[in-house]
Amino acid sequence: MTPALPSMLADNPRLDRWVNFTAPGQVAISTGRVEIGQGVLTAMAQIAAEELDVAVERIEIRSGDTDVTPNEGYTAGSQSMQAGGVALRQACADVRALFLNHAARLLGCTKAELTVHDGRILRAGEPTDHDYWSLATSVVLATEAAGTAPRKPLSEYTVVGRDTARLDLPAKLFGQPAFIHDMNLDGMAHARVVRQPNRGATLVSVDEEAIRRAARGQIAFVRDGNFLAIVGDNETAVEAAAAAATDHVVWRGAERPASLQQEATWLLQRPAVDRIIGEPAAAEPLRGLQTLEATYTRPHLAHASIGPSCGLAIYKDEHLTVWTHCQGVFPLRAALARALRLDPSVISVRHVQGPGCYGHNGADDAATDAAVIALQMPGRAIRVRWRRQEEFAFEPVSPAMVVKVRAKIDEAGHPLDWTTEIWSGTHQGRPGGGANLLAAEALPNPPPVPAPIDVPETVGGGATRNAEPLYDIPAKRIVHHLVTEVPRRTSALRGLGAMPNVFALECFTDELAERAGKDPVEYRLAQLSDPRARAVIERVAAMADWSAQQSRQANRGKGIGFARYKNRAAYAAVVVELEVEDSIRLLHAWCAADVGLAVNPDAVVNQLEGGMIQSASWVLKEQVRFDNATAGPIDWQGYPVLRFSEIPEIEIELLHAETDVPLGAGEATAGPTAAAIGNAVSRALGVRIRDLPLTRERIMAMLLAQ
Amino acid sequence: MTQTVAFTVNGRPVSVAAAHEQTPLLDVLRNDLRLTGTRFGCGLEQCGCCVVLIDGKPEKSCTRSIDSVAGCDVTTIEGIGTPERPHPLQQAFLEEQAGQCGYCLSGIIISAKALLDRDASPSRAEIARALDDNICRCGAHNRILRAVEKAAARLREGWRA
């Protein structure tokens, strides 16, 4: 039976979409995956080098360009290795086989006699006259992948699985132009958008004279419907004008969220689309069983990328070219075509690296802003850079969630029946998904509001992600209320619903363990048969010297959290040790993870650790707060994040996995870390706090209430 | 209204015709001098992306007016080392793979250099405190702290900056 093609290769079967030998001594590799700070391009180079048997230095990576690279949708969901890497690997194996077949014909030998060493073809280990580049003109790669070429066995790997230095890091350490913000196109104009406060708000008047005075330099206005932009040669003048503009434009129908809407519990009484996934609830109550229930909440979170979004565009010779740091150049091209009423064939979208991306931030919108202005100023390159205030106020936020967990437990304290009930806005507000681009809503005749959708369970779910515990529980179900009325545009942030769900599930599991008088680690292992899951929990317990924690110190505690991301990607168990006085001080964190094949182990560890730190920041500090005057925080004072002095020591171990199947790792630690902190706080204080963030105010209130 | 300001950047004298005296130093570095290694993060002096050395002191350049640096000696990330001759900090950051997206690193390396210039043997906690004005959102903090410790040790051993 022919093996099924990896899905991304089935979507993009032409081999020359992935691999080309154009320049002598170089291999041009194309990937639809883009670098968003996670090191993906280095891993792709390793995969290609390994499977083609060439040195990594020969690989030239092209990524995220609608004109040349495969369409792999979004770089999201920890799918880059699991889907994209596996597709590239098979494409390279197929290409290598085509070259060896051709060489065998030329040499009059069998393919089995041939090997490749750094691109040169060897026969019985001896050099031949042939290499990839000399044969490139006679081997046709404009052909569909068969997907039948054998891949290199794991035991022969020399590049994949070895720590490899990030290809993109040197430019960033020496201050070279590395980011989209650093691009400088000929004759480029700078622009800022005076944002429509919300869909339906109407621009009544603009005091252009006052704004010009504030600019202290030449500026021009671009206006189309309720889309207003300030453009000029001098960025300083454009920025000054934009800063002043808010005081000199009048909007009708501007709405601001009220402060009471910042709490997750506000969602409980809103209209929603309801679903039940999993086993139906038992028709009869399970006799004699106790039912326990607890409700956990997490507020709206900001991506809060270190740099605000940026987009460039030029409309020339009836072709629109857009540069963006978004996660999906092909979906953005489709969304731009709809919003601007252009044919996709006249639009090229190219990815350029940006500041750290953890999901759907303002990048797509900034690119669209630039495109709208470029269409009004043909021939002129336009650069839009969002303001910090704009990024905080207008990027999509991760939706607040309420997670109610209900379990019927047996005499030993183990659940027999489990329900996770969730209230959440959508985690899928991407253009072309459940939402429109901001600029499209400001232009005349805005598109209708799409019906709210969430990420389907077949690709891991949105609000339902990780809502089902991995433990051996006879009956499990998820009740999902997709809340259709939310105070801010919501969309995908690292892990989507996984963090609030794992926080709820794993904190509740600790509550059940405590009730049963059992150690949290032993309690988990007693109802977990997946050997890889058991292994990470056992390992992290050993790393953290878990059993020694019976002698408890006052105000100090260790907590554990575990999840297999999406119940199908990487396994991660985390232990956190912390101290609580009136606020929380993180002392130490340990993580054991099984990510299957780690293409670049050091990069995986970097990602796992980054996920732990970001999650710790979410848990201890972060909440998008509304104050009736702004649509959220406008600066880092209003949205504090963890700083250097607050970071604990972290130790991470990757469990050895004898497999060539990579499991997505970038989002695996956020949920377990959140739960580990929640459980450690409960141990340290002797009181359970179920609402995030665990701020000083919340802890003080909890202690006073006791 | 154009304002001509003379100062030194990375050892090179420059004279810049800025639109007006309040033009931020960061805009002049990035747009007039094309030194884009210093990044824009917030424009509010809150994140540390734009830190440069002004007469040896770490300063945020996003709100620093150009007229206030007349005659000053400004050092940016481009001025402390090159791929061929990296500063010990840059070398250590490479070895520790200290970064994820890398957007914060220019400001962090400059802040770390300012620290090591005044204190050759800072403790881990002192390094962390010195970097508290710099935000890293990706979570590369521990690698960054290790890299700064490594660079400090090498500078003490006599590695040339």
The answer to the question of residue B161 being in a domain is: no
Q: Contact at 8 Å (CB) between A574 and A536?
A: no
* Last-in-domain residue among B21, B48, B79: B79
Contacting A residues, span 613-672, partner chain B, CB-CB under 8 Å: 613-614, 635-637, 641, 643-645, 647, 649-650
Residue B101 shares a structural domain with residue B63: no
Query: Cβ-count burial of B125 within 10 angstroms (0-12 exposed, 13-18 middle, 19+ buried)?
Result: exposed
Q: Do B103 and A613 touch (CB under 8 A)?
A: no
The per-residue pLDDT for A218 is: 96
Q: Do B99 and A169 touch (CB under 8 A)?
A: yes
Measure the CA–CA gap between A175 and A169, rounded to whole angstroms. 10
Q: How far is A168 from chain B (nearest CA, A)?
A: 9
Walk across the sheet containing A59-63 and list its strands: A19-20, A27-31, A59-63
Measure the CA–CA gap between B41 and A636, rounded to whole angstroms. 11
Measure the CA–CA gap between A583 and A700, rounded to whole angstroms. 8
Residue B54 shares a structural domain with residue B118: no
Q: Residue B29 sits in which domain range?
A: 3-79
3-state secondary structure of A333: helix
The answer to the question of residue B17 being in a domain is: yes
pLDDT digits (tens, 9 = 90+) for A293-333: 999 999 999 999 999 999 999 999 999 999 999 999 999 99
Q: Contact at 8 Å (CB) between B57 and B69?
A: no
| A701 in reach of chain B (CB within 8 A) | no
pLDDT digits (tens, 9 = 90+) for A427-442: 999 987 777 899 999 9
Measure the CA–CA gap between A231 and A248, rounded to whole angstroms. 16
pLDDT digits (tens, 9 = 90+) for B87-106: 999 999 999 999 999 999 99
Q: Which residue of B has its CA nearest to A613?
A: B139
pTM over 0.95: yes
Query: Which positions ≥6 away from A122 have C-beta within 8 Å?
Result: A114, A115, A116, A128
Single-letter amino acid, residue B135: I
The answer to the question of residue B112 being in a domain is: yes
In this complex, the residue of A182, A609, A643 whose CB is nearest that of residue B142 is A609
Q: B136 contacts in A (CB within 8 Å)?
A: 306, 644
DSSP assignment letter at A631: S
Residue B67 shares a structural domain with residue B100: no
User: Is residue B153 predicted with pLDDT exceeding 60?
Assistant: yes
Q: Do A173 and B103 touch (CB under 8 A)?
A: no
> What mean pLDDT comes out for the span A355-362?
97
> Band of the pLDDT at A552, cuts 50, 70, 90?
low
User: Is residue A1 predicted with pLDDT exceeding 50?
Assistant: no
DSSP code per residue over A346-395:
GEEEEE---S---BS-SHHHHHHHHHHHHHHSTT--EEEE--HHHHHHHS
Q: Is the N-terminal amide bond of A257 cis, ω within 30° of 0?
A: no
| A10 in reach of chain B (CB within 8 A) | no
- C-alpha pair distances (Å), A548 with each of A212, A545, A551: 68, 6, 7
Q: Contact at 8 Å (CB) between B68 and B11?
A: no
More confident residue, A514 or A656: A514
> Of A287, A290, A390, nearest to A635 (Cα)?
A390
Q: How many domains does chain B have?
A: 2
Query: Which positions ≥6 away from A381 have C-beta within 8 Å?
Result: A185, A186, A187, A188, A189, A312, A313, A314, A374
CATH code (residue B31): 3.10.20.30
Percentage helix, strand, coil for chain A under 3-state DSSP, each rounded to 5: 35, 25, 45
pLDDT digits (tens, 9 = 90+) for A367-425: 999 999 999 999 999 999 999 999 999 999 999 999 999 999 999 999 999 999 999 99
User: Is residue A551 predicted with pLDDT exceeding 60?
Assistant: no
Q: Which residue of A has its CA nearest to B78?
A: A175
User: Is residue A282 predicted with pLDDT exceeding 90?
Assistant: no
Residue B41 shares a structural domain with residue B97: no
Residue B50 shares a structural domain with residue B10: yes
Q: A614 contacts in B (CB within 8 Å)?
A: 137-139
> Of B71, B75, B93, B72, nearest to B83 (Cα)?
B93
In this structure, the number of other CB atoms found within 10 A of the CB of residue A288 comes to 8
The answer to the question of residue B127 being in a domain is: yes
> What mean pLDDT comes out for the span A490-511?
98
Q: Do A647 and B141 touch (CB under 8 A)?
A: yes
In this complex, the residue of A172, A308, A643 whose CB is nearest that of residue B102 is A172
Residue B71 shares a structural domain with residue B32: yes
* Last-in-domain residue among B79, B98, B122: B79
* Last-in-domain residue among B24, B58, B79: B79
Measure the CA–CA gap between A557 and A306, rounded to whole angstroms. 32
Q: How far is A183 from chain B (nearest CA, A)?
A: 9
List the domains of chain A with CATH numbers: 7-168 (3.30.365.10), 187-254+304-394 (3.30.365.10), 496-705 (3.30.365.10)
Q: A607 contacts in B (CB within 8 Å)?
A: 100
Q: Do B20 and A217 touch (CB under 8 A)?
A: yes
CATH code (residue B132): 1.10.150.120
Q: Do B44 and A635 touch (CB under 8 A)?
A: yes
User: What is the number of CB-based contacts under 8 A between chain A and chain B?
Assistant: 175
Chain centre distance of CA A46? 22
Q: A179 contacts in B (CB within 8 Å)?
A: 39, 103
Q: Is the N-terminal amide bond of A693 cis, ω within 30° of 0?
A: yes
Q: Which residue of A has its CA nearest to B145?
A: A644
3-state secondary structure of A289: coil
Residue B75 shares a structural domain with residue B95: no
Residue A395 β-bridge partners? none
